[in-house]
Structure 1
Amino acid sequence: MPSLLLDLDTRDQLAAALDGEGWVVACLCAAWCGTCSSYRAGFDSLAARHPDKTFVWIDIEDQADVVGDLDVENFPTLLLQRGDRVAFFGTMLPDPLLADRLVQAQAALADEELARLAASSEERRGWQRDANLRTLLANAE
């Protein structure tokens, strides 16, 4: 199953996924980025290996009203979120196997550990404040 391409017609699907307690794995990229274009097939294959999670492809320019002032420093940038908690936000090498290990490691953590980690540093507290897809999506509507 390929990743969900975020657009006006699929925002409700992403909002529904974020309302639950399941995992959302988002790749923030840009259409003009050659690295992103070549990474897309690998990201889709990663989505197929994790059918219990929602994978979403977000073009930061096409979805600028959702992304807002989110600081995307390089591509690809991954965002992993479960419910209202951002577990990871950062630039990754365009390697689906590396992303797979990250997804597996985060998904294996207990809720208590996710909560502890979310508050464990200024950077991670900033993710909760600035990179929460649930909040970003709600503010774009």
Structure 2
Amino acid sequence: MMTTINLTADTFQDTVTGEGITLVDWWAGWCGPCMQFAPVYEAASERHPDITFAKIDTEAEQELSAAVQITSIPTLMAFRDGVLLYAQPGALPAEALDQIIGQVRDLDMEQVRREIDAQEAQAQAPEVPEASQN
């Protein structure tokens, strides 16, 4: 049973901004570590049916890959309720993937949103000009 979905530039935004947890595996057919990670990712998708497991072929989706600054593959991204919580390159062993899933699942999203709001408010604060040196 195919439990992962393939994303494209057209479906990426809608998928990762949805409710719940979405994992995205950025890969390519010529990438050895990607091929090693694929069965690990597929197996995890079968163990966690409540999570959306998506794959993006970086060869087919070069513009999208460039837009999100994918520089190394495989890269795994984890989103929850539209918030990017994890993005790291490298093929993960099954235990490490399960740890990431557990951490994303256990997060207090209210707290995460408060932190994001605080960071955004700080980023939008007017710059205080430095005293002139005359």
Flag the structure with larger Rg: 2
Residue of structure 2 in register with 1:67 after alignment: 65
Question: Does the aligned pair in 2 maintain the 1:5–1:56 contact within 8 Å?
Answer: yes
- Aligned-pair RMSD on alpha carbons? 2.6
CA offsets per residue over residues 67-97 of structure 1, 9 Å max, x none? Answer: 2333223332110112221111112443122
Residue of structure 2 in register with 1:46 after alignment: 44
Question: Does the aligned pair in 2 maintain the 1:87–1:118 contact within 8 Å?
Answer: no
TM-score by length of 2: 0.73
Residue of structure 2 in register with 1:137 after alignment: none
Change (3 A) 1:36 1:119: farther
Residue of structure 2 in register with 1:79 after alignment: 77
SS, match of residue 113 in structure 1: helix
Question: Does the aligned pair in 2 maintain the 1:79–1:86 contact within 8 Å?
Answer: yes
Question: Does the aligned pair in 1 maintain the 2:80–2:104 contact within 8 Å?
Answer: no
Matched ranges for 1:1-141 at <5 A = 1-7=2-8, 11-12=10-11, 16-116=14-114, 118=116
Change (3 A) 1:117 1:29: farther
Q: Tell me the percent identity.
A: 23
Return structure 1 stretches of 4+ with deviation > 4 angstroms: 116-121
Shift of 1:16: 5.0
SS, match of residue 92 in structure 2: coil
SS, match of residue 68 in structure 1: helix
Change (3 A) 1:93 1:41: closer
Query: Residues of 1 paired with 2:21 and 2:82: CA distance?
Result: 10
* Long gaps (5+) in structure 2: 124-134
Question: Does the aligned pair in 1 maintain the 2:28–2:57 contact within 8 Å?
Answer: yes
- Figure out how many residues of one structure are paired with residues of the other and give that number: 119
CA offsets per residue over residues 37-72 of structure 1, 9 Å max, x none? Answer: 121111000111111010011111211232233322
